[in-house]
Structure 1
Amino acid sequence: MRIVPPAGPARALAVAQLTDSIGLGGYLVCSALYFTRTVGLSATQVGFGLTVGWAVAFVAAVPLGHLADRRGPREVAIMLALCTAAALLLFLFVRSFVPFVLAACVYSSAISGLAAARQALLAGIVAAADRTKVRAALAAAVNGGIAIGAGLGGLALEVDRATAYLTVFGVDAVSLVVSALVLLRVPSVPPTQVVHGEPRLAVLRDRPYALVSLLNMVLQLHIPMITLAIPLWIVERTSAPGWTVSALLVLNTATIVLCQVTVANRVTDLAAAVRFMRYAGATLLVACAVFATSGFGAPTWLAVVILLVAAATQASAEMMQASGAWELSFGLAPEGRHGQYQGFFGSGFTVARMLGPLLVTTVVLGWGTAGWLLLGVVFLLAGVAMGPAARWAERTRATAPEPAMACPS
């Protein structure tokens, strides 16, 4: 599979995600300063509001995914893309704390449900053997779009005026509307028919799948590690210049855009997925150890080299973890229930995004080298434990009945 998916529904889905990720990149860069400088909220209020928003999104992800199964993933994805755009427009009119928290809840819930619906849509239009490869191409598109949007957001930061930030929010909202229109080119997937006597949210009773999702959530702590802990570590504990932070993020993004599909092509079944998750845990341990050495008082040039090596190692682990996670999340989910199952699996990312920054920064900045090594060991144990958990989940799939599909209207 090339970086660009073949012509057809998968390419349209990639274009949709590329489009709205450009707006997302601008939002990620500008949102904190907009809420503090333009709206007038304190940093504590912004942090608390976003945490509440992601907590609500965690609860809403499975019901919204279930809605995608019942009503059709394409239709629900379009609706949630428009809801996300509306939430961004609400941010433009927020001038106090309570409306900010409400808008953050709408935004976070809509974007989490949108991710679940898109995953269910992918499962419905792509053969099972190709889902991980196509998902990798989508990830490359998303990272490329975020990089472009971050550049536009950087221009707004340079201008540092309310109109610049408002423009970025407006562009983000428009990109989501365009993304919803692009989804109209993707074939509609028939909704799932409810089986009598089956629980509505079956994933909440699926303990093996929950364990796999939990272990994946632990491995996803590498996200706040690269986006928050490492920048703070560089500034506070190393002699590396501040521009090193940007260099590492650019390296991470470029590596994923160029190499994620190649890595995913090697994950062809559940056994390979488990192996790659184990590799990811071990590689993250190595990355943590290398990051720790950058704080040993190395001269500037050597600190930069060490950080670049560590970041490259972390990016390799991230690609292995993502590829394995996609194969597991699709391969262990019953056909016809991908919406709720992907919503549940994706909620691990929400938890990592919500609690990870506090956990990772406390361990790394508070304990130094010991904290880095502890974090690395946690990654290793999660990767190793994924094998027994995935095999347990796979055994339970053999006897689970497949849901019936409703006839398309």
Structure 2
Amino acid sequence: MTSDPHAMTISSFWAALPRPARWLLCSTVFQVLGRGLTLPFTVIYLHEVRGLTLDVAGSLMALAFAIALLLTPVAGNLTDRLGARIMVIIGSGAQSIGVAILAFAEDVPTVIAAMFFIGICNAGGWGAFNVLISSLVDGPVRVQYFGINFALVNLGIGLGGVVGGIFIDVSRPKTFTTIFLIDAVCMLIPIALMLGPLRHVHGRSETPEEEIGVKVSYLSILRRPGVPHLFAIGLIFAFIGYGQMEAGFPAFAREVSEVSTRVIGWAFAVNTVVIVAFQFFVLRKIHGRRRTRVVVLMAAIWAASWLILGATGAFSGTITAAAMVLVFHALFASGETLLQPTLPAITNDLAPAHLRGRYNALSSGSFQLGAVLAPLVAGFMLRHELNSAFIGLLVAGCAGLAVVAIGLERRISPEVNGVGPRAEPVRVPTSAPLQVEDPTV
């Protein structure tokens, strides 16, 4: 394998992975393919098929994030105590049960039950998945893994969305039942891997002798250098980013830009194409650069993208507005390729190995909080036609994100920031015994 990160290829990246990490990467595609079938259409399903009002449907979807926010601290503790592998099994199982219930839900109480299980997965599943990644790979390979994993997530969701859009029909409720059941089955695949090829990979680190008996609370972790900044970055990131993708962007594009739902669908397709096409290129370009500076660049790109979306109001209902909406999503996606390989890497490099579960729980909690606040703020501002103020708020959020990233740079070591000795390429031989294996698990 070449030692030059700028000459990195997919084959050299694959060769650098230990066998368990390869299995874990493969599982990503299958589980998110199922999510892609249902994620873009859940609100449509609840509203047009099950007859719930849009307000109720939106509130029920937000309920899953609220439940996750409440359970995330518990999930972080359990990840450190039980191991990430067990928490991935629990999260995947909960997601499978949740979407299976949703497939047959005809009333609000049943949907609430489904969202409770989905919230369990949101609380612990993905954070534990990041901890499992960090237990298997290190150095630049870890950063590459986070980036490639993110591209695969988008590819799976994009493909699932295309297939789901072709297959489902609101006049045939059984088509929705089918895609939710397929989603439930897809979530069983990572469970099978955890019980099979990955059964010896627990993703748990032993507590150092000097730390044994020391009680660690989330409040004490938040007081550690850099952690408050990471929490703020996650909160702002979710509020101005993914939280708005499910609420603010579609509403703005329909009500202000006045584009069709087809254009909105194509915009999400453009997002997926940009991420899948350029993620590997971006990984090569950002290697050895300060991760915090990469976050600043991403914030600038996102600010430009939101300004472009805001400008569509001057061309409402025209082809120009539609083209600008597509450009918005292309720019937004390019920013995503910068953030995803950096923020998880900073979090897991900053965290002591035996506390990674709780560090990732804090990161996940900040995301959940931002995801809850985003639709509430977007709904209020756009309902009261505060369109310019809405865009201004998001641009200000981008500026705040850049400021917090610079503050973080002063509080973390160069190694954690991706420019120290740990930035050297790491090759983990597939034939060597893994430190994370524990035959007793």
What's the TM-score bracket when you normalise by the shorter of the two chains? 0.7 to 0.9
Distance 1:248 1:36, change over 3 A: closer
Structure 1 equivalent of residue 139 of structure 2: 128
Deviation at 1:204, TM superposition (A): 5.7
Q: Structure 2 unaligned runs (5+)?
A: 1-7, 417-435
The answer to whether residue 256 in structure 2 is matched with residue 237 in structure 1 is yes
Q: Contact 1:212–1:390 at 8 Å: present in 2 too?
A: no
The answer to whether residue 203 in structure 2 is matched with residue 185 in structure 1 is no
Distance 1:24 1:241, change over 3 A: closer
Deviation at 1:26, TM superposition (A): 1.4
Structure 2 CA distance for aligned equivalents of residues 294 and 38 of structure 1: 32
Deviation at 1:75, TM superposition (A): 2.8
The answer to whether residue 273 in structure 2 is matched with residue 254 in structure 1 is yes
Superposed counterparts of 1:163-312, under 5 Å: 163-183=174-194, 184-186=196-198, 187-189=200-202, 191-194=204-207, 195-202=211-218, 205-207=221-223, 208-220=226-238, 221-238=240-257, 240-268=259-287, 272-297=290-315, 300-312=318-330
Structure 2 CA distance for aligned equivalents of residues 289 and 120 of structure 1: 36
Q: Contact 1:24–1:149 at 8 Å: present in 2 too?
A: yes
Q: Structure 1 unaligned runs (5+)?
A: 398-404
Deviation at 1:408, TM superposition (A): 6.0
Structure 1 equivalent of residue 130 of structure 2: 119
Structure 2 CA distance for aligned equivalents of residues 319 and 80 of structure 1: 26
Q: Contact 2:45–2:170 at 8 Å: present in 1 too?
A: no
Residue 68 of structure 2 is aligned with which of 54, 57, 61? Answer: 57
Deviation at 1:309, TM superposition (A): 2.8
Q: Contact 1:2–1:137 at 8 Å: present in 2 too?
A: no
Matched to 1:374, the amino acid is L
Deviation at 1:56, TM superposition (A): 1.6
Structure 1 CA distance for aligned equivalents of residues 63 and 285 of structure 2: 38
Give a deviation string over 1:70-92, Cα, whole Å, max 9, x none. 22212321232122212222224
Q: Contact 1:68–1:339 at 8 Å: present in 2 too?
A: yes
Distance 1:40 1:216, change over 3 A: same
Deviation at 1:156, TM superposition (A): 4.1
Superposed counterparts of 1:311-326, under 5 Å: 311-326=329-344
Give a deviation string over 1:349-372, Cα, whole Å, max 9, x none. 222322212223544673223431
Matched to 2:14, the amino acid is P
Report the TM-score, using the length of structure 2 for normalisation: 0.82
Matched to 1:259, the amino acid is F
Give a deviation string over 1:270-316, Cα, whole Å, max 9, x none. x6110011111122221122222211137823223333333222222
Structure 2 equivalent of residue 348 of structure 1: 366
Structure 1 CA distance for aligned equivalents of residues 203 and 234 of structure 2: 29
Q: Give the fraction of aligned pairs with identical amino acids, expressed as a percent.
A: 20
Deviation at 1:108, TM superposition (A): 1.4
Deviation at 1:9, TM superposition (A): 2.5
Q: Contact 1:190–1:407 at 8 Å: present in 2 too?
A: no
Which deviates more from structure 2 when the two are superposed, residues 354-363 or residues 379-388?
354-363
Which deviates more from structure 2 when the two are superposed, residues 115-124 or residues 74-83?
74-83
Structure 2 CA distance for aligned equivalents of residues 102 and 257 of structure 1: 35
Distance 1:300 1:212, change over 3 A: same
Distance 1:242 1:73, change over 3 A: closer
Give a deviation string over 1:201-232, Cα, whole Å, max 9, x none. 45763233133222232123222333432332
Local SS of the residue matching 2:290: helix
Residue 24 of structure 1 is aligned with which of 4, 18, 35? Answer: 35
Distance 1:246 1:42, change over 3 A: closer
Distance 1:209 1:266, change over 3 A: farther
Structure 2 CA distance for aligned equivalents of residues 246 and 92 of structure 1: 23
The answer to whether residue 349 in structure 2 is matched with residue 339 in structure 1 is no
Q: Contact 2:147–2:283 at 8 Å: present in 1 too?
A: yes
Which deviates more from structure 2 when the two are superposed, residues 207-216 or residues 191-200?
191-200
Structure 2 CA distance for aligned equivalents of residues 103 and 26 of structure 1: 17
Q: Contact 2:65–2:119 at 8 Å: present in 1 too?
A: yes
The answer to whether residue 19 in structure 2 is matched with residue 6 in structure 1 is no
Structure 2 equivalent of residue 152 of structure 1: 163
Structure 2 equivalent of residue 142 of structure 1: 153
Q: Contact 2:237–2:370 at 8 Å: present in 1 too?
A: no
Give a deviation string over 1:59-106, Cα, whole Å, max 9, x none. 212321332222221232123212221222222443432332232122
Deviation at 1:234, TM superposition (A): 2.5
Structure 2 equivalent of residue 80 of structure 1: 91
Structure 2 equivalent of residue 377 of structure 1: 396
Which deviates more from structure 2 when the two are superposed, residues 275-284 or residues 95-104?
95-104
Deviation at 1:245, TM superposition (A): 1.1
Matched to 1:310, the amino acid is F
Structure 2 equivalent of residue 109 of structure 1: 120
Structure 2 CA distance for aligned equivalents of residues 389 and 364 of structure 1: 33
Structure 2 CA distance for aligned equivalents of residues 367 and 330 of structure 1: 39
Deviation at 1:257, TM superposition (A): 1.3
Q: Contact 1:280–1:318 at 8 Å: present in 2 too?
A: yes
More helix by share: 1
How many residues matched?
401
Local SS of the residue matching 2:14: coil
Residue 328 of structure 1 is aligned with which of 328, 331, 346? Answer: 346
Matched to 2:323, the amino acid is V
Matched to 2:99, the amino acid is L
Q: Contact 1:266–1:272 at 8 Å: present in 2 too?
A: no
Q: Contact 2:201–2:438 at 8 Å: present in 1 too?
A: no
Structure 1 equivalent of residue 422 of structure 2: none
Matched to 1:74, the amino acid is R
Matched to 2:221, the amino acid is R
The answer to whether residue 98 in structure 2 is matched with residue 90 in structure 1 is no
Distance 1:51 1:228, change over 3 A: closer
Q: Contact 2:72–2:365 at 8 Å: present in 1 too?
A: yes
Structure 2 CA distance for aligned equivalents of residues 291 and 86 of structure 1: 38
Distance 1:227 1:35, change over 3 A: closer
